[in-house]
Amino acid sequence: MSNNQEIAGRSARPDLNDLYLFARVVEHGSFTAAGRAAGLTTSRVSRRIADLEGRLGVRLLHRTTRKLALTPIGEQYYQHCRALVSEAEAAAEVVEQVQAVPRGRVRVTCPALTAQSVLGPIVTDFMRQCPEVRVSLAASDRVVDLIDEGFDVAIRFRALPLEDSSLVARTIGESRAYLVASPTLLEGYGRPALPADLARFPSLGKSRHDAGYVWQLTGEHGENAAIPYRPRLDSDDWRVLKHAALAGLGLVAMPDEMCQADIDAGRLEIALPDWRLPGSSLHIVYPSRRGLIPAVRAFIDFAAERLAAQCPKNRGQTPVSPV
């Protein structure tokens, strides 16, 4: 074999440890910091990166007395090295997940209605399955900062993308909302045929602190209607609003998990069946895919499967894949 063939062979079969070390040098910004993280001396790290450049026949880093900077080819090379490191860590986590027994505490936050209607039984069943896990569940309708407040997982109804790019959002499904009233109220005022007919009805509303109260409706053929209303009763508690609706005090836009059983039983009725209110997407949100402890990963997978089965659009479909 010629010298050129030997060099080409070595270049085609790089030492993966050197690729890993190169990625760490770039991420830490210095040979010293990378060496400290890898348990190597600064001179050893510098020599191995120099050897890597020698085998490749290109310069990957510009070195000055004050900092390191990637060359154009070094930038491209680093992107591949980073992907390799990420996949290696993911492979290791697969093994760790199988081998490790979930234990420790998982801190979860979700809207109050979700805790009351669906998440309570899910948490109970999860803790039966994972007896060494402790769960702290905070039910709150305010926007929670997962990082600053130390939460592992959040269950949220909201639109993507997230404001914080460091968070991961796993979409579970969609929750529907219905404009409902008691049959007695609809009979007394005459059942509405068009959105404009809603103006003659008394109304109830979830408390708002920003814009006014408006029902945004979409018809069968995509037509839109915005109907402003002034609620007789507004509250931040869905149970209060449902009790008032059952008593015939007004129309209310309510999520399906709060009113579906009453619709099925005939205690509430959808006011305009051919018009839809906007739905909201259900997400499980957590700080990172990497480094999740087994207890948190187990909870995310367990909750995602159970919540997906209860979302109207997911019933009868294959459960979402695990993280």
Dump pLDDT digits (tens) for 31-63: 988 888 888 899 999 999 999 999 999 999 998
> Where does the chain hold its CATH 3.40.190.10 domain(s)?
100-171+290-314
* Amino acid making up residue 266: G
100-171+290-314: which CATH topology? D-Maltodextrin-Binding Protein; domain 2 (3.40.190)
Please give the pLDDT value at position 163: 56
pLDDT, residue 60, reads 93
User: What kind of fold does domain 177-270 have according to CATH?
Assistant: D-Maltodextrin-Binding Protein; domain 2 (3.40.190)
pLDDT at 283: 86
How much is the pLDDT for 164? Answer: 54
pLDDT confidence of residue 211 = 65
pLDDT recorded at residue 159: 52
Q: How far is CA 265 from CA 188, 241, 287, in A?
A: 20, 18, 41
pTM greater than 0.75 (yes/no): no
> Quick one: pLDDT at residue 143?
76
**DSSP β-bridge partners for residue 171:** 283
User: Residue 319: is the preceding peptide bond cis (ω within 30°)?
Assistant: no
Could you tell me where in the chain the CATH 1.10.10.10 domains are found?
3-91
Distance, CA of 136 to CA of 151 (rounded, Å): 9
Regions in the chain scoring below 50 on pLDDT: 1-11, 160, 314-323
What residues contact 275, with CB distance under 8 A and at least 6 apart?
Answer: 179, 195, 217, 218, 219, 220, 225
Range list of H helices, the chain: 3-12, 16-28, 31-38, 42-56, 72-99, 112-114, 120-129, 146-149, 183-189, 238-246, 256-265, 294-310
- Give the H or E element holding residue 224: strand 224-228
Domain 3-91, CATH among 3.40.50.300, 3.40.50.150, 1.10.10.10, 3.30.70.1400: 1.10.10.10
Q: CB count, 10 Å around CB of 216?
A: 13
